[in-house]
Chains A and B, each alone.
Chain A
């Protein structure tokens, strides 16, 4: 096989498709690992990997701002919160699946999720989407900013209030109640 033949073979490959399948395989397998493993710390690490692979999917969808926010908030902040509480409250050698031996839950859980997936995939196949590809390189961030501060300004402010309330509430819940008696 000559070099030019190999090269022409390479030219036929669509790299977007390849990238999509590679990222999807990593994403799905790490998500499965999150729910199947018995070790909570490995579950956390797989979850962080899932977050990062989701960011990769966003990059493929040319939504690079969402991708970076996903890395910053999910992989950088939420995962650290989870990690911290895992360090505080879990028993390190305890298998988290131990308490649920092969029970009817496992059976019904797989049936329910399988049915859900079946229903959604049939719906997706039978719907004709009015698809148009937007031919732009990447999203302009100023568009997102304008969307936040014009049409969705009330929701934006409410989200800020929600975060503040969640912060205060989390601190208030966790604060140890001093028993004076």
Chain B
């Protein structure tokens, strides 16, 4: 028999798993657009956290959902600027591999 065992901690574990997948992507990927994908995964995980807290914790009303909406706004701005920067770098250097972005080193 399966009872309703899904509480706050299950949602938190799920979101931390997604977040660690995002960390793995950021650390291992060399392609700038893939790194942006991983950052999006991490932001999504944070949003799951906030919405879960909003449902399960007392005296919060809708604060968690409002914060999640703010994060969505910031994510939209971040991805627009990030992609614009990567397009400009691609125009200048002809590559999207992060290791080749070393203008400041030389």
Q: Which residues of A contact B (CB under 8 A)?
A: 12-14, 16-18, 20, 24, 27-28, 31-32, 34-35, 40, 43-44, 47, 50-51, 54, 57-58, 61-63, 65-66, 69-70, 73-74, 77-78, 81-82, 85-86, 88-90, 96-97, 99-100, 105-106, 108-110, 112-114, 116-117, 120-121, 124-125, 129-134, 139, 143-144, 147-148, 152, 155, 159, 162-163, 165-167, 169-171, 173-174, 176
Contact = CB atoms under 8 A, between A and B. Distances in A.
B76 A130 contact: no
B62 A81 contact: no
28 contacts: A20-B10, A31-B41, A34-B38, A40-B34, A44-B37, A47-B40, A54-B44, A57-B48, A57-B51, A61-B11, A61-B52, A61-B54, A63-B51, A63-B68, A89-B86, A90-B96, A96-B29, A99-B99, A100-B28, A100-B30, A106-B28, A129-B56, A131-B7, A132-B56, A144-B65, A155-B70, A173-B81, A173-B85
Contacts of A40: 31, 33-34
Given A12-B2, A99-B99, A108-B27, A65 B65 contact: yes
Interface string B60-87: 0111011011101111111111011111
A63 to B, nearest CB: 5
Contacts of B14: 24, 27-28, 57
Which label, helix, strand, loop or mixed, suits the secondary structure of the B interface?
A: helix
A147 B38 contact: no
Interface residues of B, number: 75
Contacts of B16: 116-117, 120-121, 124
A20 B12 CA distance: 13
B51 A78 contact: no
Contacts of B86: 85, 89
Contacts of A120: 12-13, 16, 19-20
Given A63-B51, A65-B65, A116 B23 contact: yes
Contacts of B72: 69-70, 73-74
Given A66-B69, A148-B66, A134 B4 contact: no
B31 A99 contact: yes
A79 to B, nearest CB: 9
A17 B2 contact: yes
B52 to A, nearest CB: 6
Nearest to A133: B56
A16 B6 CA distance: 8
B81 A169 contact: yes
A113 B73 contact: no
Nearest to B38: A35
